[in-house]
């Protein structure tokens, strides 16, 4: 679970303007944080198949957002991939 403090830090880092709460970059950053938290969970509980299904859904949603960003603005895509340390 992402703490409120960590979520607010991500929002401050990836927002595009002051009242931004749902830009594509911000959504990808929040999904990435949730995916990383679930990966830590699987190191403790490797047989948790139901949560793994949820993880795959999150990864698919993030992949769709990144594909759209790649089509619309390659510079933002490259910058976001580098900043979040995500494989291509």
**pLDDT 10s digits, 36-86:** 999 999 999 999 999 999 999 999 999 999 999 999 999 999 999 999 999
3-class DSSP assignment, residue 48: coil
Per-residue pLDDT averaged across 15-34, rounded? 92
Report the phi/psi class of residue 85: left, alpha or beta, with left for phi > 0 and alpha for psi in -120 to 50.
left
Is 56 part of any domain? no
Residue 88 scores a pLDDT above 80 = no
Report how far residue 71's alpha carbon sits from residue 67's, in angstroms, rounded to the nearest whole number: 6
Residue 84: per-residue pLDDT? 95
Range of the domain at 76: 62-88
Q: C-alpha angle 73/63/50, rounded to 5°?
A: 160
Is 88 part of any domain? yes
Is 82 part of any domain? yes
Residue 87: per-residue pLDDT? 84
Overall pTM surpassing 0.75 (yes/no)? yes
Is 70 part of any domain? yes
Q: How many domains does the chain have?
A: 1
CB 62 within 8 A of CB 33: no
């Amino acid at each position: 679970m992402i703490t409120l403090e960590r979520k607010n830090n991500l929002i401050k880092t990836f927002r595009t303007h002051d009242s931004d709460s749902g830009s594509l970059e911000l959504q990808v950053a929040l999904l990435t944080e949730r995916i990383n938290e679930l990966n830590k969970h699987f190191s403790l509980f490797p047989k948790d198949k139901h949560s793994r299904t949820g993880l795959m859904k999150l990864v698919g949603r993030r992949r769709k957002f990144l594909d759209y960003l790649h089509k619309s603005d390659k510079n933002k895509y490259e910058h976001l991939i580098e900043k979040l340390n995500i494989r291509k």
